[in-house]
Structure 1
Amino acid sequence: MTITKKTALIYCQDQFGLVDGKTAAALVRHSELYTIVGVIDSLSAGNDAGEILGEAISDIPIFSDFQDALAHLSETPHCYIYGKAPLDVCIPSDERLLILEAMEHGMNIINGLHEFFSEDQEFVAAAVQNNVQIKDIRKSPNVKDLHVFSGRIYEITVPVIAILGTDCACGKMTTAVELNNALNRLGIKSVFVATGQTSLMQGAIYGASIDALISQFVIGEIENAVIQAFEQEKPDIILVEGQSAVSHPAFMSSLGILKGSMPDGIILQHPPAREFRCDFPALLMPTIESEIQLIETISSARVLAIALSHENLAIEEILSTIQQYETQLNLPTTDVLSYGCKKLIQALAVHFPKLSQKIKPENFPETRVLAKA
């Protein structure tokens, strides 16, 4: 089925390229639902969004404010996306005014926060008046449509791989999306199961924003998404997006992912240069060894490979860091945004020989080269 993309402007004031701007960054990199025509962030205005992320030119401009965007775009975008993922629950008053202004210009509102705009009386009235829609990505389905764990996950007969991490916002989703795309380019049918609001915004067909669910249903919803992907797509492999970290004291989502998907293997994402948990400056990052030990203690799955985030690393440091981790952990290690997914695919082929039968070495995607760190 061909999806007609809607044009979209992303609001990410003060945060684009930073941890809390991860939703905007992900949509700039990849979206099956939206054609991103610009980002709002006065701190980076005048630059190309891809270059700010340290990657190739994306031809997506960054604007200083909403009016600047409308003045330079050839037409008003269909959608206004709130592209920040802050720890705070509610948005400030100045950002409310911008959302109202976007609706006055006929833009639909896409919201990934826990604060539901579709339940805000002022926003609802403005949407009706301007004949636009509000979509809350994190809004849970009705209880009657939710699932509890059934045990049917044991019926899955293809490898299920969870991409977990040592912290929030460290690249788990990016690695999962890049790996999913690379596998499909090779002729291996891979299906991606989303567990967060950003990947659902990108267009993932299967999954749920699990941190918005009542805890009773988290494991069952993940299990159901994996089963749906298996039954409807007949894939060769299923990739499940991770959330937070098993060791993170503030979040439980990784445990639900492990229990609900019963993975056959883990790819572990880690930001080597990060000293403290993002949004928690008093919490030191765990060592990658301790995270592996914890995952493999509570799960029957083994960590098969490591994917690194190059945040705060100079270009020349990335390769040496990869080599250091491979020596230290005796596990294939890469940074998919710098060097592609070849090592991850090779690791999967070694552990799951049926996959290797479909892989031709000459079809591996080329190594990427970063524009800057």
Structure 2
Amino acid sequence: MLCMPDNNLQATKSGIPVNWLFKSLMDKGIDLQEIRESLQLNEAEINPSTRILPTLTYNRIFEWAAARTQDPDLGIHIAEKVEPNQFGMLGYLASNAPTVGDLCDIVERYQRVFTPDFSHTFTSTEGVCQCLYEEALLANIDSRQDTDFSFGILITTIRLAAGESWCPLRCDFTYPKPEKLDNLQRLFGSDLHFEQPANKIYFSDEVLSLTMPSGDANLLAILMQQANQLLDQLSSKDLIRHVKFLITTGIGDDSSSAENIAKHLNMSVRTLNRQLKERNINFRELRNGVVINVAKDALINTDSSITDIALMLGYSETSAFDRFFKRLTGQTPLQYRKSAL
């Protein structure tokens, strides 16, 4: 399986995107004010513009929410309902994987980039694939909800190829055995082991060759090309390349805003804008350039509909994407696609 070194990546981005968590809690009637008051967080730490949380804060909220909703299986229930597009570029990469094996490669390679405090590592031995899930900052801390959610997302995605009843051969969890196991057994199977040294799931490596029903190999190649070009430049001290990389990883969601990218770079928005100005460019120009490049590649090299491309890039309405594209290129997306044929 593919594996990327962590040293440069962790210095660029930390914490975890939490749009999906906030949306799920709001659907259950829990708003940001209740979270702040219950966990004694201030408005600077959590507010409507918050898209990334420090790992420990994220875990506190997730565990508190399970108690607040009286749902010890909250992580499982959210994993079964969340949509891939709530995870930005990583979600689109994963949802366009041609096979389960490709899915595993993508998760291992790119999760270390987008959420460096967490990782999935896949290994195969004697016909069995093993997935190790690690939470770098949560050792000896109750993190059951995150573990259940992360494995739950992987399993529900594999089920798209393997069938709704598919379960791993075995699952190991570091947390103690819960009182009720029905939801765990429904998703993770019957061979469950608790208070283990590490969080792992095991499944037949025959599953790796199964075809993912929503996979678009052409679109995946474009997305990976964009991500890989910028990933290779991460060790560079070039601010513009760093910003382009972060825009690409957050494409399609709000995490690519100037506010969130400045936070990733441990600077204020004003400082980010000043440093970009010193390099004769501004944030909007950088972001527009990244989005247009991805859009052009998708229009020329895939059969994806313009609506799907617009959604991938964060536009809920095709008309808004059309206006954006025409403003920057002088052509509508359809005109550009036809002219390139």
Q: TM-score range by the shorter chain?
A: 0.3 to 0.5
For normalisation by structure 2, the TM-score amounts to 0.35
Q: Hey, which of these two has a bigger chunk of strand by percent?
A: 1
Q: Hey, which of these two has a bigger chunk of helix by percent?
A: 2
For normalisation by structure 1, the TM-score amounts to 0.33
